[in-house]
């Protein structure tokens, strides 16, 4: 299997032993992104909406490094610390995708890395 690591300095570095993304064939698998600011490497202030907006900036940067955009995304998984944030996250999410929307799962989890409120991972196809 041909496997290419995708890394960029335009998004926060991985905080563990994983790649930002892996490209294999026409598929790009992004690791979960959280609302870390690239300059400070700290979680953005402003709650779940601000974190979601930052996540999309980070996702766009990783996709760009792989030669893709949000329009190439075919699947997204949203991990929420509190499902009560679902509506607010949907509003931010809808600002970044247009029909046909990617397939998506959204799940509530007990805890996320760095105590963030949200994490999003995507799969894109070139």
**List of residues 6+ apart from 78 with CB closer than 8 A:** 89, 93, 104, 105, 106, 107, 118, 119, 120
Domain that holds residue 24: 4-125
**Domain containing residue 73: CATH number:** 3.30.1330.40
Question: Could you tell me the pTM of the whole model?
Answer: 0.97
Closest CA to 119 of 78, 76, 64, 60: 78
Number of domains in the chain: 1
- Which SS3 state, helix, strand or coil, does residue 23 take? strand
Per-residue pLDDT reduced to its tens digit, 3-50: 999 999 999 999 899 999 999 999 999 999 999 999 999 999 999 999
Return the sign of the alpha-carbon dihedral for residues 83, 54, 38, 41: negative
Per-residue pLDDT reduced to its tens digit, 38-47: 999 999 999 9
């Amino acid at each position: 299997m041909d496997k290419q690591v995708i890394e960029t300095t335009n998004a926060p570095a991985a905080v563990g032993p994983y790649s930002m993304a892996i490209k294999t064939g026409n598929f790009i698998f992004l690791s979960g992104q959280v609302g870390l600011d690239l300059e400070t490497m700290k979680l953005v202030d402003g709650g779940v909406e601000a974190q979601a907006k930052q996540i999309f900036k980070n996702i766009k940067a990783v996709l760009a490094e792989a030669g893709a955009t949000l329009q190439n995304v075919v699947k997204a998984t949203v991990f929420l610390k509190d499902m009560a944030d679902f509506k607010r996250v949907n509003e931010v999410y809808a600002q970044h995708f247009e029909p046909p929307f990617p397939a998506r799962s959204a799940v509530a989890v007990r805890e996320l890395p760095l105590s963030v409120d949200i994490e999003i991972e995507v799969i894109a196809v070139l």
